[in-house]
Every structure is written in C-alpha cells, then in structure tokens.
Amino acid sequence: GGAGDAAEGARRTGFVRVRGAREHNLKNVDVDIPRDVLVVFTGVSGSGKSSLAFGTLYAEAQRRYLESVAPYARRLFNQMGVPQVDSIDGLPPAVALQQQRGSSTTRSSVGSVTTLSNLLRMLYSRAGDYPPGQPIIYAEAFSPHTPEGACPGCHGLGQVYEVTEQSMVPDPSLTIRERAVAAWPTAWGGQNQRDILVTLGHDVDRPWRELPQELRDWILFTDEQPVVPVYPGLTPEETRRAVKRGDEPNYMGTFSSARRHTLHTFANTQSASMKKRALSFMLSTPCPVCGGKRLRRESLSVTFAGMDIADLSRLPLARLASLILPYAGGSGPDAADDAHPEKAIVRQRIASDAADRLNVLLDMGLGYLSLERSTPSLSPGELQRLRLATQVHSNLFGVVYVLDEPSAGLHPADTEALLRALDGLKAAGNSLFVVEHDLDVIRQADWIVDVGPAAGEQGGEVLYSGPPDGLREIEISQTRRHLFGAEAVIPRTPREPAGWLQMEGVTRNNLRNLDVRFPLGVLTTVSGVSGSGKSSLVSQALVELAAEHLGHAPVIEETDEADPDAVIAVGGRIAAGMEGISRLVRVDQKPIGRTPRSNLATYTGLFDHVRRIFAATPAAKKRRYDAGRFSFNVAKGRCETCEGEGFVMVELLFLPSVYAPCPTCHGARYNAATLEIEYRGQNIAQVLGMTVDAAYEFFADEPQVRRSLHVLREVGLGYLRLGQPATELSGGEAQRIKLATELQRAQRGHALYILDEPTTGLHPADVEKLVVQLDELVSAGNTVIVVEHDMRVVAASDWVIDIGPGAGEDGGRVVAEGPPAEVARSAESRTAPYLARVLE
Ligand code: ADP
Ligand code: ADP
Ligand code: ZN
Ligand code: ZN
C-alpha cells in the first residue's frame, strides 16, 4: 500500500517526513527532518518550535509506543494528547528530556537518578573493607530506604523530630482562646479543640503560662483521645450547665493533643503546605544513633578508601571521581589484595563503571554536585543535564532525543561540555532534536528547522529546513539576523550607582562568610559558571535578607514536598543600603497559576476592567448584570455544565481521563444569557479568545485596558490570547507576564527587582526587548539585579558581579566587579573572555 511505501522510502533516505502538522499554531506544516544528526529547532518565542518538536514529533512517537503497551500500563505515563497531524513517516522511538515546569515532585537524589548510588552500594557490599569477623552484607543494606539499611533510631531519615512546649506554644502569654496552642489547626479545627477543653472544664481564658504544668503537658502531649459533647458558641459557664443538664450537644468532639495532631499531620497529609506548617512546630536534631548518616551501624562499619558510604555520598562528584579513578585502573592503595583476588576484580569492574559515569557528569559541568543532593533542590537545567548524562550511558541507539533548551542555566564555558555530550549521543547512532535559542548551540547544528516568522498566529510556518549556512538566504527569518549578523552590542555608558546595598557575612551553600555590595539605582548582572553560587547569593540570601528588612514574611519556596533539608537558615546580614528601598519584587519563572481558571487576563488584572466595561453596556444595565456576572469563576454568569471550565473530564475505562469541550457551551465557559451581552459586537467569550495584539486594537477607547495590553506587547507577548490558561504557558512566558504586571503598576522608583535568568526561552530578538524593559525600570528609579548567562544582557548592564571562579567548592567568591568593560579585562574571571567577545 501507499503508506507502507512512503514509510519504506523515509527509512531509506534517513528522513522523518512530517505532513500536515497543525498542533497549536502550526499552519499545516510539511517538513523533512534528517535522522542521526543534531537538528536544532529555532525561531522567536511562541513561533511554534515546541509545538513541532514536542507537541507533534515526540507526542506521535509516544502515542505509537503506548499503543504497544498494555492499557493499564498507559496510565503510568504522563500522556500527551494525540497530535494534530496528517502523517509522520520514518519516526524512530523518542525519549524526551524536557525541562520541568515547576518543581520536581519525586524525592529522588543525584545518586538515584544517575544510578550511581546503586553502583556504590554494590561496591561496598562486594568489595568494601569489613571489620574483622563481620559477615558480608547485601547491597540493599547500604540504602536508607530499605528496612535492611535504615537506621532504627530515625527510620532512615537522619533526623529525629520532636515537639516541645516551646515549639508548639511560641507565645505563652496568650490564652487558649487566643490560640496559645499554635500547633493546633487554624480555623474550625482549632476552635473544636478549644470547645472540647471547655466541656472538660478547663479554663481557656487564662494565659497559658498560668495554667498548671500538669494540665499543659496533658493538652500538649497526651495520647488519650476523649470523646465529649461539644456546645459551640456557649460560654464556659453555659457549657457547664448544659453538660450538667445533659442537653443535646451539637456534636461529639474528639480531643487530640497538639503533639498527636502535629505528628499525625506531618506523617499523613497530602498537602505540602499543611506538611510545612506541621514541620514549623517541630524541632529536628541529627539522629543520635547514626549521627545523621541514616544507616544502620553495621552498614556504616564497612568502608571504601577509608570512608563509609554516607561520607562518600556527600563528596562533590569531582572529588569522588578522583578518589575512585585509581581503583578503576587496578591500582589504588589496597589493590594488591592477594588474600581476595576475586574481590580485587569486582572492585576494579565496579570502579571503572562508576568512573565512566562520573566522567560524563564532570564533562557536563556537574562536578560540584554530590550524590546525596536531592533533585527538588536542583535547577531545571541541572536536572536536565543530569538526565542527559545518564542517557549517554544507557547504550541506547536508533532513538530520537528531544530536548528543550539544554543550554538553560549554562555559562558559555559549560555549553561547550554540553555540546560534547550531545556529540556522544549522536556518535552512538541517535538522532537529536533540540529546541534552542543559544547561538553557540545553533552554530553546532547539522541541520536547522527555523519556525516563524513571528509568534502565535503570526508564526507556525517552517521558514527553512536545511544545513545552517542556507539560512543566510532566508530574509524573513529573525534567527538569520542574529546568527549571521554582528554579535557585538552597541557600547553604552554605564549609569552611576545612586548608593550601595552592602551584604556582610553571607553563608549559604558554597558561600562562606562573603561580603558583597550591589549598586543601587542601576542594572546589575550577576554572572559566573553554573554552580558558582549566583542563585545562592541573589535568589536565596539577598531575597530572604531584603524581605526580612522590609518586614515581609520570609519568602518560602513552594515545593511539592516539605523537604526538611530545604529549611536552612541563611547566615549574613544587610549592613547598609535598605533605607532607599521600599519594595522587593521577585520576577521568577514559576507558573502564574496551576489551574486553567487563572489566565493572562485574570493575572494581570486586565480582566477586571474588561468585566466592568461589559457591565456598563446598556444591555447589561437593563438586566442588572454586574461585573461579577462576567466572571467564569462565579456561578451566576458561567456555564453550569462545566462550571466555567469550558471543558469536561471524560473518564475512560483503563485509559487516562481526557478533557473534551463542554457539550453545553462548546468551550465558551459562560451561559447563554451572559453571552447575549456584547460590547462592540463581541461577547465576553470572544474577547477572551482575542490575542493581546487584537485586543489592543479592539479596546482603542479604553485607556486602562490599553495600558495593560501595551506593556504585554512590549515584553513580546502580543501573540498570547487573553484567556490562555496558566497551565499552557511556558516558564519564560509566565515570567514575562509577571514582569508586565509589574511594569503596568508604574510605581515610581524605590523597588528592588530580582530576576533569575530572565532570558530562558527567549530568542535573541526577544532578549533585546527584555533589556529595553529592564532599562525602563531603572530609568524610573528602581534597582534591578539579574542572574544571567546571556552575554548581551551582561554587556548591556551598568555593573557586573562575577562569582566564581569555578563551581561548588571552587566558587563562592566575587572574582570581578565593575562596569562590563572592566570585568571583561579580568584575568581570573571565566566570564571575561566571553564578555570581551561581545563588547569589541
Ligand atoms: P515556541 O516553542 O516557539 O516558543 P510554542 O510551540 O510553545 O512556541 O507555542 C506556539 C504557539 O502555540 C503559541 O502561540 C503558544 O501560546 C501556543 N501554545 C503553546 N502551548 C499550547 C497549548 N498547550 N495549548 C494551546 N496553545 C498552546
Ligand atoms: P549558580 O546559581 O551559580 O548555578 P548555586 O547557587 O545554585 O549556583 O549553587 C552553588 C553551590 O551550592 C553548588 O555547589 C550547589 O550544588 C550548592 N547548592 C545549591 N543549592 C543547594 C541546596 N539546596 N542544597 C545543597 N547545596 C546546594
Ligand atoms: Zn539514625
Ligand atoms: Zn460549559
């Protein structure tokens, strides 16, 4: 048949042939993409690169794979939709290494992701040094996650948690009614416990510290759970009488001591914030049995190179590699172990396997990580490279690896290592499809697929597909201008700082007692190789200390799991410079919302104005529709079938549930009566369907709406639809929406803006727009500090602080500081040569 011939043809010619791709904004795209080489997908943000590489090619490969899998197993996959495409021929199986949006949820570590921990456990079990007379133990006994290995004192956690009167009752001058027992639940749950104590005849209106110790201990620590009648709303005196009379209570309440409640919540809750709250009433101390090493004594008694496995897992990978390398070569201090020749062989085999794996990780610039480092604490770029390094060792071939901006978070010096790893995968006989903005990576491509010409509806076409050089001829391509144009930036005169923010004694991760100053009223870039300490300094220490100064609640990162390791106090203080700062604004890449109920229009506040405009139309006034009527989150105006979601979930037997457009409103989200109201011939659902650009024309007479739309266009988001759900936005888009929301506030000056790698996901053309926006913030009297690798941003800033010189233990110092031209001349800075290149 025809399809079979086409498939055979594609296989022979070595091309993946895509016909009629229409996913998201793709305009019925036909394109042939070669296999077994490095293909880079380029184009401005929102042009459709990911829709082609991930949404079409990877999704189709996954769909085919899943067809061969038993239905119940399909549920285990985070399945993507069936792509909108006519046909794809010649597509090999695909592995996606996508950057995670939001934090990773699994409680894994560098050692488990890379499988190096397994290897070390084997090494200790089979070739470790045992104390005389101790029998050999199995590899599992070296894992804190198994019953054989876990320390009995802490169940493998390394920490023991306890609650004390002080930790649960922080302010003993309060009464129970005033919530002295802070560890009890807030809201109803806490009132319930109070009412139970009233029934039991205890005084809830005396300051905690005046209650008898015996009673306090009982309330906090008892395991008893008396069930008593509860009379909410009655005074203690009235309750006493009601109990005496045997009045019918509202309900029977069960008492739970504060300790019981706290420990139970910590162990059982599914909610990250509840867990975090419980943790805040607990004190943790290193386990006295294992000293925090999480393993049984017998397991810790086995050593390799003189160290137990816990100590070895804490070493930076670079040190671990240099320690293991001699054994891999068959030498090593105790290599001539004549008594156990078989042990020596096993040791050499495992050590050389581990050394190979470690080398790939070092090559990837990850030598500063340790095996025990938890993956939720890694940046998305670090995690992606970790998984990439693991793949290099998987010995797969004939596979397409689909990658999403692997250079994110990488200093130009690190990017070179990344390219070597990609080469390794290619040499092993694999195809690489990479979505990337970094010019250094694009230059290494064997083949470029350039998507554009612009974003959203103005994009979605393949402008060019071929070897890089041919892109020179494609005048409509934005990539062409940056790839072949002059890279040097226009020299500018740095602005003068208005003052200095001085930090002293900063200690955190690899920063040790660091003194550092940030200029005020200018644009500062903090640069350095990845792992040098930029985020520790800026996104962690500076953010927390500045927030503390301003009296905000300390900013707690939202992780899906309460990670006890993440609760580290930061050492250091801000010695001067905060007088001139009234507000701290952190513009990060976290999603603007986790449900389709929040979107661009709701997040920016733009939708409030739009709803008021609709409520002010004569037709709405006549029907007495207020602004709330035009919210899809409010019952009166929304479609009742889908409760304003626009789609309904369809449960399928044995398959993941799918979302289908709502049969009543067909995705409009509103009920028919609401949709009858029109403003300039368009109803509210049609307005939500407009792009920012279209809405800008449409609301020509509404200055407030226009202002918001104007800034959104300025940050390059004119292509987004107003109602685009938060869940469909990339991290970079979310970050620019936050930036635009800040910009439209037009607050004059005195704010401190902190951005961590704002160019992630941005095409060079979009980077230029971003720099203009940051400049405007500075012109309005604000201070802007960015952590950034893009040398054009570094060159365009007024001041540069270069952290390093290396990563981890080799970093954490200020290597160079000053205006860009000055830092570019530093002999010690690893940023200098790359910066000099764009400045010349
Ligand atoms: P790029 O990778 O080039 O930045 P994308 O392929 O992510 O671009 O996006 C192309 C267009 O498709 C954009 O207009 C974007 O807003 C839209 N889009 C992306 N993801 C989705 C989605 N899940 N649903 C609907 N539209 C989407
Ligand atoms: P950069 O931002 O320059 O890439 P980071 O500040 O993220 O560097 O990291 C600096 C050092 O601190 C690295 O050695 C890194 O492994 C370590 N580090 C960062 N975050 C954590 C953490 N949550 N727990 C332990 N070590 C960390
Ligand atoms: Zn222990
Ligand atoms: Zn509906």
Query: Which ligand number lies closest to the CA of residue 638?
Result: 4
Q: What is the pLDDT of residue 128?
A: 93
How far, in Å, from the CA of 369 to the mean position of ligand 3? Answer: 24
Phi/psi region, residue 551 (left: phi>0; alpha: psi -120 to 50; beta: rest), is left
Q: What is the pLDDT of residue 146?
A: 92
**Is residue 8 very low, low, confident or very high in pLDDT (cuts 50, 70, 90)?**
low
Q: What is the pLDDT of residue 336?
A: 55
- Domains in the chain (CATH in brackets) are 2-103+374-484 (3.40.50.300), 110-157+293-363 (1.20.1580.10), 161-286 (1.10.8.280), 499-591+747-839 (3.40.50.300), 600-728 (1.20.1580.10)
**Is residue 552 very low, low, confident or very high in pLDDT (cuts 50, 70, 90)?**
low
How far, in Å, from the CA of 90 to the mean position of ligand 1? Answer: 25
Q: What is the pLDDT of residue 565?
A: 43
Instruction: Give the pLDDT confidence of 757-774 residue by residue, as tens digits.
Output: 888 878 888 888 889 889
Mean pLDDT rounded to a whole number for the chain: 87
Q: What is the pLDDT of residue 335?
A: 53
pLDDT at 230 exceeding the cut of 90: yes
Q: Which of 96-105, 264-273, 418-427 has the highest mean pLDDT?
A: 418-427
**Which residue's alpha carbon is nearest to atom 26 within ligand 2?**
509
How far, in Å, from the CA of 370 to the mean position of ligand 2? Answer: 11
**Is residue 274 very low, low, confident or very high in pLDDT (cuts 50, 70, 90)?**
confident
Q: Report the 3 state secondary structure along 567-618.
A: CCCCEEEEEECHHHCCEEEEECCCCCCCCCCCEHHHHHCHHHHHHHHHHCCH
Counting residues of the chain whose pLDDT is more than 70, the rounded percentage is 90
How far, in Å, from the CA of 144 to the mean position of ligand 3? Answer: 9
Of ligand 1's listed atoms, the one at least distance from the Cα of 460 is: 10
Query: Which ligand number lies closest to the CA of residue 671?
Result: 4
**Which residue's alpha carbon is nearest to atom 26 within ligand 1?**
24
CB 557: neighbour CB atoms within 10 A? 14
Q: What is the pLDDT of residue 619?
A: 96
Q: What is the pLDDT of residue 4?
A: 53
What are the backbone dihedrals phi and psi of residue 221, each rounded to the nearest 5 degrees, phi first?
-120, -5
Q: Is the CB of 797 under 6 A from ligand 1?
A: no
Q: What is the pLDDT of residue 187?
A: 77
Q: What is the pLDDT of residue 685?
A: 96
Q: Is the CB of 50 under 6 A from ligand 1?
A: yes
Q: What is the pLDDT of residue 651?
A: 57
Contacts of 653 (CB under 8 A, 6+ apart): none
Give the sign of the dihedral formed by CA 654, CA 656, CA 657, CA 661.
negative
For β-strands 400-404 and 29-34, DSSP reports them as unpaired
Mean pLDDT for 289-315 is: 95
The set of long-range contacts for 127-134, using a CB threshold of 8 Å and a minimum separation of 24, is 127/304, 127/343, 127/344, 127/346, 127/347, 127/350, 128/302, 128/303, 128/304, 129/302, 129/303, 129/304, 129/334, 130/301, 130/302, 131/301, 131/302, 134/298, 134/301, 134/302
How far, in Å, from the CA of 572 to the mean position of ligand 3? Answer: 31
Q: What is the pLDDT of residue 416?
A: 83
| ipTM of predicted complex | 0.90
Q: Is the CB of 21 under 6 A from ligand 1?
A: no
Q: Is the CB of 508 under 6 A from ligand 1?
A: no
The 3-state DSSP class for residue 389 equals: helix
Q: What is the pLDDT of residue 554?
A: 44
For β-strands 523-527 and 799-804, DSSP reports them as parallel
**Is residue 564 very low, low, confident or very high in pLDDT (cuts 50, 70, 90)?**
very low
Q: What is the pLDDT of residue 661?
A: 77
Q: Token digits for 832? A: 């200098």
Of ligand 2's listed atoms, the one at least distance from the Cα of 537 is: 6
From 384, 535, 540, mutation site for ligand 2 pocket: most ligand atoms within 8 A of C-beta: 535
Q: How far apart are CA 382 and CA 365, in angstroms?
A: 9
Q: Which residues line ligand 2 (CB under 6 A)?
A: 368-369, 373, 377, 509-510, 528, 530-536, 807-808
How far, in Å, from the CA of 138 to the mean position of ligand 3? Answer: 19
pLDDT at 404 exceeding the cut of 80: yes
Bridge partners (DSSP) of residue 585 are: 753
**Which residue's alpha carbon is nearest to atom 10 within ligand 1?**
48
Q: How far apart are CA 608 and CA 160, in angstroms?
A: 49
How far, in Å, from the CA of 21 to the mean position of ligand 3? Answer: 56
How far, in Å, from the CA of 675 to the mean position of ligand 4? Answer: 12
DSSP 727: G
Instruction: Give the pLDDT confidence of 513-545 residue by residue, as tens digits.
Output: 999 999 999 999 999 988 899 999 999 899 989
**Which residue's alpha carbon is nearest to atom 22 within ligand 2?**
377
Instruction: Give the pLDDT confidence of 325-342 residue by residue, as tens digits.
Output: 999 887 766 655 556 788
The tokens 């990576």 sit on which residue?
441
Q: How far apart are CA 829 and CA 840, in angstroms?
A: 17
Specify the pTM. Answer: 0.78
